[in-house]
Amino acid sequence: MHQKAMNYVRIASLFAVLAAGSCAAPMNDSDGLVDDPIANHPIAVAPSFHTLQVSFSAPDAGLMPEDSQRFDAFVADFVQHGNGSISISVPPGADSRIAIAYFGERLATAGVPRDRILVGTRGDTGGKIELGYISYFASVAPCGDFSSNLGYTASNRVSANLGCAVQHNIAAQVADPRDLVQPQPMGGGDAARRATVYDNYKNGKPTGAEHSAEQSGAVSDVDKN
C-alpha cells in the first residue's frame, strides 16, 4: 500500500511539472512578435531634399510677388525643419554676382546664419534661381494589423497593434527626427555660475539659488474648507 502511494505521488508530480511547462512556454511563437511595442513598430528616420525655383530679374532687383511669397515660406520651413545648410544655385553670367548677393542678404535677413548659406552657379537651372536644403522626417508603418484573433490568448502574446498609435504620435511630434537616431551633444557649462557656486562653497554659504517671496512654493489655500 505504501508503494502504491509513492507511485501516485510521482505521477502527480510529473503532471504538475508538465502543466507548469505548458503555461510558461507560448503555444505559438512563430509570429515574430515580442512584448515590446517599440521593436514591433520601429520609427524610421530618413532624409528628404526640398527644392524651390524662382525667377529673378536683376534690373528690377527682386522677385515677383508670387515668387516672393513662395521664397519666404520656403525659408521659414528651412529655419524650422532644415538641417545643415541651404544652397543657392544661380545661372552663370554677368548677373550671377548680383543674384547671389541679393539672395544671400535676403536669407540672412530672414534669420538664416551666414555660415549655413552655400552659394554657387549652375547651368541646368533653366535660367531660374534654385534653392535647396535637407530635412529629416520620421515615419512608422501603418497600423491596423488584425491578422491575429484577439479572442484567443492562450499564446499569451501581445496584440500586433499594441503601441502602434503611440509610435505614430512620437514620430509626428518630435521636433528633430535625428534625435531618435543620435542625441545632440550637450552644451557647454556656465563658467560664471560654476565659479559662484564654488566660491559660496568655500565660504560656507548656501550654493543653491536664492528664492524671493514670490517663489515660496506654498500650496494654495483654495478649497481647503
Is the per-residue pLDDT at 57 higher than 50? Answer: yes
What ranges make up the beta strands (E) of the chain?
A: 44-54, 82-90, 117-121, 129-139
Q: Mean pLDDT: which of 58-72, 74-88, 172-186, 208-222 is highest?
A: 74-88
Flag the least confident range among 15-19, 144-148, 220-224: 15-19
Flag the least confident range among 40-49, 81-90, 105-114, 178-187: 178-187
Q: What does the alpha-carbon distance between residue 181 and residue 63 come to, in Å, rounded to a whole number?
A: 39
* 141, three cell numbers: 508603418
Is the per-residue pLDDT at 36 higher than 50? Answer: yes
Q: Are 54 and 90 in contact (CB under 8 A)?
A: no
Q: Are 53 and 127 in contact (CB under 8 A)?
A: no
Neighbour tally for 90: CB within 10 Å: 23
Is the per-residue pLDDT at 82 higher than 70? Answer: yes
Q: Are 116 and 86 in contact (CB under 8 A)?
A: yes
> Quick one: pLDDT band at residue 124, thresholds 50, 70, 90?
confident
pLDDT of residue 27: 47
- Between the two ends of the chain, the Cα-to-Cα distance in Å is 75
Q: Are 131 and 99 in contact (CB under 8 A)?
A: no
- 44-139 carries CATH number 1.10.3720.10: no
Q: Is 12 buried (19+), middle (13-18) or exposed (0-12) by CB count in 10 A?
A: exposed
**What does pTM read for this prediction?**
0.58
Is the per-residue pLDDT at 10 higher than 60? Answer: no
Largest CA distance in the chain: 116
> How much of the chain exceeds pLDDT 70, in percent?
76
Centroid of chain to Cα 183: 10
> Quick one: pLDDT band at residue 30, thresholds 50, 70, 90?
very low
Q: What does the alpha-carbon distance between residue 76 and residue 96 come to, in Å, rounded to a whole number?
A: 24
Q: What does the alpha-carbon distance between residue 105 and residue 128 come to, in Å, rounded to a whole number?
A: 18
What are the residue boundaries of the structural domains of the chain, listed by start?
44-139
Amino acid identity at 173: Q
Q: Are 157 and 110 in contact (CB under 8 A)?
A: no
Q: What does the alpha-carbon distance between residue 108 and residue 91 come to, in Å, rounded to a whole number?
A: 21
Centroid of chain to Cα 116: 22
What pLDDT digit, counting tens, does each position of 154-212 carry?
777 778 888 999 999 999 999 888 888 888 788 888 888 889 898 989 998 888 877 77
pLDDT of residue 216: 65
What pLDDT digit, counting tens, does each position of 131-162 carry?
999 999 999 999 988 877 777 777 777 788 88
